[in-house]
Amino acid sequence: MKALLVIDYTNDFIASDGALTVGKPGQEIEVPLLERVHQFHQNQDLIVYAVDVHEEGDKHHPETVLYPPHNIRNTKGRELYGKVREHYEMIKNEDHVIWLDKTRYSAFVGTNLDLLLRERGITDVHLVGDVTDICVLHTAVYAYSLGYKLTIYKDAVASFDKSGHEWALRHFENALGAKIL
């Protein structure tokens, strides 16, 4: 059984005016990312929207010193970007679609994601979204450590940093044994 994890594809990370935007590279993956979502949806496979959330004015979160405020709860910046949001709104109440708030880079840290996957017999985790060398990377490393098989769609992940993106793709394949499609 497999699951698609859609990592942090929000306005703050993707829109040109987002608070911590990947910008054009993130916008360019919208169509292939949405194709993966459609494929998993048609097959009734699990789709998890793992979405970064921060509280306004939180001085204790470690990212506060690294990045400007982003993905603040109940803001437009935290909403899914573009057509991905439109599609999510149509399918969000289906049993095989889950919204998961995450407060760390990895979608597994501080969440019940592992439990949700194991309850459903998931053995293979497929990743799309951003940022390739931050949240996608940390989620992949954690999934690998928990024994999941990994697939990364290179046309559906993006980063601020081209060299970091390319390094992460190599790392997924060479250190985590991920399939890169």
pLDDT of residue 65: 83
**Domain boundaries along the sequence of the chain:** 2-180
Q: In what order do the strands lie in the sheet with 179-180?
A: 97-102, 46-52, 2-7, 124-130, 149-158, 179-180
Peptide bond into 141 cis (omega under 30): no
pTM score, whole prediction: 0.96
What are the pLDDT digits (tens) for 106-147?
999 999 999 999 999 999 999 999 999 999 999 999 999 999
Structural contact between residues 61 and 103, judged by C-beta atoms closer than 8 angstroms:
yes
Residue 129 backbone zone (phi > 0: left; psi -120 to 50: alpha; other: beta): left
Euclidean distance between CA atoms 71 and 55, whole angstroms: 8
Read off the pLDDT band of 51 (50, 70, 90): very high
Read off the pLDDT band of 68 (50, 70, 90): confident
pLDDT of residue 128: 98
Euclidean distance between CA atoms 4 and 128, whole angstroms: 8
Choosing among 3.40.50.850, 3.10.20.90, 3.40.50.300, 3.40.50.2300, the CATH entry for 2-180 is 3.40.50.850
C-alpha distances in Å from residue 4, one per residue of 66, 72, 78, 124 = 28, 24, 20, 9
What are the pLDDT digits (tens) for 9-27?
999 999 999 999 999 999 9
Strand, coil or helix: 22 = coil
Residue 160's φ and ψ, nearest 5 degrees, are -70, -30
